[in-house]
Amino acid sequence: MKSIRSKTKPNKKVPPKSDIAFQDPLFEKSLNHTKNVQNFKLLFSCLLGNALEFYDFTLCGVFITSLSQTFFSSSSDFNSLLGGIFVFSAAFWTRPLGAIYFGYMGDKWGRKNALAISIMLMGIPSLIISCLPGYKIIGIIAPITILISRLLQGFSTGGEYNGAAVFALEHFQVKQGVISGLISASCVAGALIAAIVGYTLSKPGYSSEVWRWAFLGGAFISFIGYFLRQYTQDSQKFLAEKKIEKFPLIYIWQYQRRSFLISIVMGALNGILSYTLFGFLNIYLIRYVGIEENTAFFYNIFGLLAFLISCPIFGFIADKTNTFFAMKLSGYLIAIFSWATFLLLNDSSLLVFLGQMLFGILVGSFAGPCHAFLQELFPIKVRYSGIASGFSIGMAITGGSTAFVMLFMLNKTNFLLIPAAYICISAIIWLLTLKLFLTKKSK
């Protein structure tokens, strides 16, 4: 398969401006308008495709209790829940593999092609989960099939989240912080829709199997996302890049090692923050605070809303200052206010509501400008591979293990603020990483 760049024709010599008969202000205005419309369509397709994919990915976290009861057999509810969390976390194991595969594909054969395939692969496991019989009917085949489905979802997500950001930001040279925030917000929008679906379908009166329709709908909209991606094009900056690295990860380790390590730490903290908000807080409120499942889903929706709104706001802050300052500010906010979040979650209903919103803002402060920050770390020829691989390795380390670690520490210590300590320490590690990065850059 030939590289996409090999099909591009060399630039033709452009005649002087005075020799172009149609060069006039009206034509230039029309040309700029056309370009703006094309960019808007491209951004919309990225945002919508990302939202659709993360709706599918988040459903397992939202319905983790139902999935545990349906597909696992255990003598206790807690062990069944651990089985569900294990399967949910399995997606993070294959995420780095997907990042390597789609990163290579995106750097060599085009971002558009990689993103189209990744979203198609996300819909297939959702379709399988929606139709799969439970443990009581097919026995051990049920959890094995769920595990394989989650592994495939993780593989496809490894190429989606960062790839969509790379693709969009290469088309926009201004307001990259805001664009970065919108990309992150689109993922939250998909997760928010999943949370709303979970809240609605968890109300009394619904069948215990009604969650299957949510997965079936996710599969359907993923296939729609595949066709949306067909109407996008790679950026001229990417197409103009002549040199292709045969082994991108080897090049990155030799010449971009510091950037690669930074992206790993960034992915690790993002995994802790995002999947605490998306999944663990529901378990925490239900099991340790004593809130009903339906009510916990309701509170979580407002945490996700705060996350969604704060992403472009903190992206705007990055545009007005710089991405380094924005990421440093986020680290301090998380280290300080994570304690306040869990204090609020253990109080009255109003304060639980505020605690969810505060944590959503903290996650948004980090996820909002992170893509614009990552974009500056790698050159175009290895950007997709470098960002996706490093970030996904970090996510694999912490995203899948966060719920396990927090549940283990809570059961051992009975200290309800132990999750705040875990998050605070992680934020301090991020700040130390940034300090090292600043010191190295200044030399």
Does residue 64 sit within a domain? yes
Residue 1 lies in a domain: no
- Lowest mean pLDDT of 109-113, 150-154, 182-186, 293-297, name the range: 293-297
Digit-coded pLDDT (tens) for 242-276:
677 888 889 999 999 999 999 999 999 999 998 89
Q: Which residue reads 């189209």 in tokens?
A: 116
Burial 282-312 (b: 16+ CB within 10 A, else e): bbbbbebeebebeebbbbbbbbbbbbbbbbb
pLDDT at residue 140, rounded to an integer: 84
Evaluate whether residue 34 is within a structural domain.
no
What is the structure's pLDDT at 36? 62
Query: How far apart are alpha carbons 57 and 158 in whole angstroms?
Result: 11
C-beta separation of 229 from 111 below 8 A: no
Domain count, the chain: 1
Question: What is the per-residue pLDDT for 22?
Answer: 43
CA distance 48 to 352: 31
Share of the chain above pLDDT 70, in %: 86
Q: Give a yes or no: residue 307 inside a domain.
A: yes
Query: What is the percentage of the chain residues whose pLDDT exceeds 90?
Result: 29
pLDDT at 264: 95
Confidence of residue 420 (pLDDT cuts 50, 70, 90): very high
Find the domain containing 258 and state its range: 43-442
> Which band of pLDDT confidence, cut at 50, 70 and 90, is reported for residue 317?
very high
Token pair 């924005």 in the structure block, residue: 326
**Is 149 within a domain?**
yes
The verdict on residue 84 lying in a domain is: yes
Over residues 208-214, the mean pLDDT reads 82
Inside any domain, residue 5:
no
Q: Work out the average pLDDT over 381-393.
A: 92
The answer to whether residues 178 and 309 touch, using CB atoms and an 8 Å cutoff, is no
The answer on pLDDT for 80 being more than 70 is no
Q: With contact defined as beta carbons under 8 Å apart, do 366 and 185 qualify?
A: no
Name the residue with higher pLDDT: 7 or 40: 40
The domain that holds 51 is classified in CATH as 1.20.1250.20
Task: Return mean pLDDT, the chain.
Answer: 82
pLDDT at 430 over 90: yes
pLDDT in tens, 182-205: 999 998 898 888 878 887 887 776
Tell me what pLDDT residue 268 has: 94
Distance CA 357, CA 301 (A): 9
Residue 216 lies in a domain: yes
Please check whether residue 52 is in contact with residue 190, taking contact to mean a CB–CB distance below 8 angstroms: yes
Of residues 438 and 297, more confidently modeled? 297
